[in-house]
Structure 1
Amino acid sequence: MIKGSRRMLSIGLVLGLALMPLTAFAEGTQPTTTGTTATVQTTTSAGAITELGVLRGDGQGVTDAYLSKTTTRLQAAILQLRLIGKEQEAQSYTGMESFADSDKAGKANRPILAYLKSHPEYGWNGTVTGGFDPNAPITSQQLYKVMLESLRYHSGSDFAYKDTLQFAATQGLSRAAAVTPFTNRDLAVALTETLQAMPKEATHTLLHELVEQKAVSADKAMLLEGQRIDIQKAADGTTYLTDGKGMALYLFTKDMADLSTCQGACLTNWPVFYSDRLLLPDNLDDKEFGVSIRSDGAKQLTYEGWPLYYFLKDTKAGDINGEGANNVWFLIKQPFYTVGLGTDAKLGNYLVDSKGVTLYYFDKDPTGSSVCTGDCLVKWPAFYADSIVIPKGLKAEDFGEIKRSDGSEQTTFKGYPLYYFFQDAKRGDLKGQSLGDVWFVVNPTTFTGTTVGKAAPPVPAPTKVIIEMKDYSFTPTELTVKAGTTIEFINRDDMKHNAVAVDGSFKIDLLDKGQSATIKLDKLGTYEYYCEPHKNFMKGKIIVQ
């Protein structure tokens, strides 16, 4: 979830709402959901691997600072020895022949390099100059080669080095394959995959073997036995949640007030997703997951209050055949939708926020501005999302924002401001619908504007769209905008990113995490662009109409 996606518009408004029993607008608050228990047991890859004693960190332990550091070749070598039960033997090795630059590893680690030099079967052959280069950063390809060697697959016989990543993927090792530079946080992810994988010609996982060898305690091994949640990338560049086998997870827009709406044949086609324990990526918040008790007593996991499902016609990892089905089934995008869809039997589809709380338009608003102020704004708080992530079928260019008279911002749809209703205390509430015959839900298919807006001459609405730099990709990867639209790039990653047009029409500086930069494109055409440090895979396209 993107924090700060809904903000109060003024101090007066906040004070007014503080006296009301409305939870939907509080920062990070999950609306009340009937039939949902409080929590689900969760851990992260880094947390689990640390508890297991496989990842030990530096002098300060496994801290955020340590996880953000680039993984070195020496680290990878030590971890391989740890995984195959040879670390102590290597530390005690007394052989003298070693790599030419073994002094760079420090006195305590020199025996390890000498041990690797005398055991070429572990795959550490050194550099062409006879060195080991112990402090050099390791690439994902090199790291996954090490992990494969730990699983008793050998480069040159079981796979060619140039095909390392492809072969690793066939063994279930791929979650950090596209990462550059490779950090200790990514290392934790790769270690998790490796421990859960089967070594060559084995009948049990590597983790099971380590438990049998008493290198890992059985109690702590339970940390990796939960259902893994992964983030996969679709062909369009967007990312979505899957289980540990790469099977896509979906939400059902009819699950509004009743989380058990899907019954009978629906459940046959859309089986529920549940596990009593989850293993999460570090960039997912465990508070976003919950457990729903269905009407038949079965348990179902939820994300942001939405029950999670599989799709029967997804038969292999990477299938997303359920995306957009009947305009009511959608992938669990990551980052999650800041504007989504709910479905009502009478009203059809309508816009909601990430928690499923209803959004409205005011029929007295002209295009590009709001006439709801004072007491009106207390009862109808303005909705604002600092980025636009939407389901399939909606268009990013339909969303923009206006500046209110107090300087705050409000999200618009087709130029018209969006609001909450203060009596809608939870997902599925529609208490504002048709009030005063001027407040209505927003059906994105049929909405064409307000009565006032249609009667007045068209006024160009201030427009801004946001492209996020997250998980080493641009989101959305392809964007269509009108000429003159302001486009804001925001970096959500720890690594620096920028955006450079292939034709040289724009270039923004490298951005640190949280920084942003804007451009405006007035000339019609298609602009392909890339991130300079990650140009091989981090690309996007802007179409100006």
Structure 2
Amino acid sequence: MFKGKHGVITICLAILLSLTPVGSIAMGEQAEGAGSVPTVQTTSASDAIAKLGVLKGDGQGVTDAYLSRTTTRIQAAILQLRLIGKEQEAASFAGMNNFKDSARTGKANRPFLAYLKAHPELGWNGTENGEFLPNAPLTPQQLYKVMLELLRYRSGMEFAYKDTLTFAASIGIFRAAAVTPFTNRDLAIALAETLQAKPKGAESTLLQELVDEKVVDAEKAKLLGGARIDVRKAADGSEYLTDGHGMTLYLFTKDMADLSTCQGACLTNWPVFYSDRLILPEGAPASDFGVSVRSDGAKQLTYKGWPLYYFAKDAKAGDTNGEAVNNVWYSIKQPFYSVVLGTDANLGNYLVDDHGVTLYYFDKDPKGSSVCAGDCLAKWPVFHAKSVVAPKGVNSSDFGEITRSDGVKQTTFKGYPLYYFFQDSKRGGLKGQGVGNVWFVLNPATFAGTTAGNATPAAEPVTDKVTIEMKDFSFTPTKLTVKAGTTIEFVNRDDMKHNAVAVDGSFKIDLLDKGQSATIKLDKPGTYEYYCEPHKSFMRGTITVQ
């Protein structure tokens, strides 16, 4: 879920660095002019349980390798005892009655089994024939049954064993219920949510009870005192972020340059989401979450720089009544949108990247290719997303990609390439809008192509072999479209020597006397600009390879 993210490919590192303020906003800083605040304090269930001292790992500590190992029944039982402060008592237990298969585990573990046999209220009752199966893999049903017993819900009374997972979900513990195989990471997730739950009839959480009993250090307990972020699956199979109670979180497309755009009645309908601590899903980058200080001084959590809201008409967990309201409110999809909508009072909706940086189209681009190269790309770096996730109402099938002559891929909308502008150094920047009367933001609902794309139909690619004449100090034809692998012959018809040199260095032919010729082949699709060295200022041409 949180493994990897789409890449943005630019023409050079310097241009990438010019976009870094967007990253700083995503890590918790507010927009320019409003100051900055520290990033929200975050943890994951496995990290919190490790810091509480419940997970101790192996000789290398609590590593990814350790967390990925399958959990055994005896391991889970010992961790439960450690969690409730009974580990030392169990380790020194001298009871003689034990499970029939206690010899299957090491000598050091047998007192634990005897202790569990003597304390059936802890939930480890074994099999019907008196075995514990200490080295068997733990199942979610077994673990959650024990966790329910820990919360003082009795199997056979409040719930039947066959209904364990359903009953556990009804009281809010479910996050590791569907995993196979069950690993140490899943165990940590189940322990963390159990600690945050309230035992039957209690006013405080199990964690608070353990703090009150001096079993858990109060300062360390704060690790699990934050709000949860969960990932929930919608009916259509897509996934989105919620808080720990299953309430959907939303972004507002008008939160571009001003993160406090939602005011007054808007806030009544769309309350802000904030907590000074967060418990994140395993693998979720902490850097995606930050804090924005609103104009009224209130704090609000952000995701990739987007302020997070609830919707007042979402009455229960799983409601998504705010999705696409007025085409400006959207849930936080996972994986997150690679293209999102921004909204401007004058321009309406327009495409931005996942951090809110504006995307543009070039009105001189024909459909299916880019004529922006060289110095143009230094100011208008390409936008590329490995995969396209778009908000509701924006058709993902409208997005595609081209491969430029230098091999760089560029995302397109309805066949037209998308670009950044180098002076848009932060989210909400619109400095590229209208530049030269050829660069514009793109409203996906109204965009109908460029002037160049609509003026002339795309040329049919030429196959096999084509000739470009050097005549009257020009290349004829000046613009040519061919299929990849086509043989291109240059023939000089002038008395003056000419040659052809690609701007990107992909080809260069020697100077030709009158009547001489030379051939090249271009195998990579893209747009190749070229010129004649002796007459560079005016003798130029373009080859588009499809």
SS of 1:207's equivalent in the other structure is helix
**Partner Cα distance (1:114, 1:187) in 2:** 23
Matching residue of 2:196: 196
Deviation at residue 431 of structure 1 after TM alignment = 1.1
> 1:363: Cα distance to partner?
1.6
Code of the residue aligned with 1:173 in structure 2: it is I
The residue identity in structure 2 corresponding to 1:107 is K
Q: Judge conservation of contact 1:41–1:277 (CA < 8 Å) in 2.
A: yes
Is residue 2:34 matched to residue 1:23? no
1:491-528 CA-to-partner distances (Å, cap 9, x unmatched) read: xxxxxxxxxxxxxxxxxxxxxxxxxxxxxxxxxxxxxx
Higher mean alpha-carbon deviation, 133-142 vs 284-293, is at 133-142
1:474-505 C-alpha deviation (Å, 9 max, x unpaired): xxxxxxxxxxxxxxxxxxxxxxxxxxxxxxxx
Verify: 1:33 aligned to 2:25, yes or no: no
Q: Is 1:400 paired with 2:400?
A: yes
- How far the C-alpha of 1:124 sits from its partner, in A, is 2.5
CA contact 1:53–1:216 (8 Å) conserved in 2: no
**In 2, Cα distance between the equivalents of 1:139 and 1:348?**
52
Partner of 1:106: 106
**Does the Cα contact within 8 Å between 2:25 and 2:305 map onto a contact in 1?**
no
1:238-317 → structure 2 map (5 Å cutoff): 238-317=238-317
Scaled by the length of structure 1, what TM-score is found? 0.79
CA contact (8 A) 1:359 1:420 kept: yes
Compare 286-295 and 264-273 and name the one that shifted more.
Answer: 286-295
Q: Is the 1:165–1:177 contact (alpha carbons within 8 Å) kept by the matching residues of 2?
A: yes
SS at match of 2:114: helix
Secondary structure in 2 aligned to 1:180? Answer: coil
1:8 alignment counterpart: 9
Question: 2:361–2:441: 8 Å Cα contact kept in structure 1?
Answer: yes
Deviation at 1:6, TM superposition (A): 3.1
- 1:310-325 superposed matches below 5 A: 310-325=310-325
Question: 2:20 aligns to what SS in structure 1?
Answer: coil
Deviations 1:299-355 (A, max 9, x none): 111111111111111121111111111110011122221111100111111110011
Change (3 A) 1:220 1:410: same
Q: Distance in 2 between matches of 1:421 and 1:100?
A: 72
Question: Within 1, Cα distance between the matches of 2:325 and 2:139?
Answer: 39
Q: 1:181 to 1:161 in 2, by over 3 A?
A: same
In 1, the alpha carbon distance for the partners of 2:194 and 2:264 equals 39
Following TM superposition, by how much is the alpha carbon of 1:60 offset from its aligned partner in structure 2, in angstroms? 2.6
Query: Is the 2:26–2:287 Cα contact (8 Å) retained in structure 1?
Result: no
- Conserved? CA contact 1:83–1:150, under 8 Å: no
1:179 aligns with 2:179: yes
- Distance in 2 (alpha carbons) for counterparts of 1:23 and 1:187: 38
Is the deviation greater in 389-398 or in 369-378?
389-398
Residues 460/220 of structure 1: CA separation in 2 closer, same or farther (3 Å cut): farther
SS across alignment from 1:209:
helix
Task: Write the mapping of 1:132-151 to structure 2, written as runs, cut at 5 A.
Answer: 132-151=132-151
From the CA coordinates, give the structure whose radius of gyration is larger. Answer: 2
> Which residue does 1:352 correspond to in 2?
352
**Which residue does 1:327 correspond to in 2?**
327
What is the distance in 1 between the residues matched to 2:23 and 2:287? 15
TM-score computed with the length of structure 2 as normaliser: 0.79
Q: After the TM superposition, list the runs of 4 or more consecutive aligned residues in structure 1 that deviate by more than 4 angstroms.
A: 1-4, 24-32, 458-461
The answer to whether the Cα contact below 8 Å between 2:380 and 2:420 also exists between their aligned partners in 1 is yes
Measured after TM superposition, the shift of residue 7 of structure 1 is 3.4
Aligned counterparts, 1:508-523, within 5 A: none
Q: Distance in 2 between matches of 1:250 and 1:164?
A: 33
Separation of aligned partners in 1, 2:25 and 2:272? 26
Alignment of 1:158-237 (within 5 A): 158-237=158-237
Counterparts in 2 of 1:459-470, with a 5 A limit?
none
| Equivalent position SS for 2:334 | coil
Shift of the 428–28 alpha-carbon distance from structure 1 to 2, 3 Å rule, reads closer
- Runs of 5+ in structure 1 lacking a partner? 462-545
For residue 532 of structure 2, what is the aligned residue in structure 1? none
Contact preservation (8 Å) 1:247, 1:319: yes
Question: Deviation of residue 32 (structure 1)?
Answer: 7.3
Q: 1:4 and 1:215 mapped to 2: Cα distance?
A: 41
- Identity of matched residues, %: 69
State the SS of the aligned residue for 1:37.
coil
1:223-264 Cα deviation digits (max 9, x unpaired): 111222222222122222222222111110000001110001
Q: How far 1:100 sits from its partner (Å)?
A: 3.3
User: Against the structure 1 CA distance between its residues 72 and 33, is the aligned structure 2 distance closer, same or farther, given a 3 Å change threshold?
Assistant: same
Correspondence for 1:372: 372
Mean Cα deviation higher: 404-413 or 94-103: 94-103
Q: Deviations over 1:99-121 (max 9, x none)?
A: 33323321211111222233334
Which runs of structure 2 are paired with 1:8-87 in the superposition (5 Å)? 8-9=9-10, 13-14=11-12, 17=15, 21-23=18-20, 33-34=31-32, 35=34, 36-87=36-87
Q: Deviations over 1:28-67 (max 9, x none)?
A: 9869723342411222211211121222223332122111
For structure 2, the 5+ residue unaligned runs are 462-546
| Cα displacement (A) at 1:130 | 4.2
Kindly indicate whether the alpha-carbon contact (under 8 Å) linking 2:176 and 2:190 is maintained by their aligned counterparts in 1.
yes
| Aligned-partner Cα distance in 1 for 2:431–2:395 | 27
Given residue 452 of structure 1, which amino acid in structure 2 is its aligned partner? Answer: A
Contact 1:368 1:460 in 2 (8 A): no
Q: Does the Cα contact within 8 Å between 1:7 and 1:25 map onto a contact in 2?
A: no
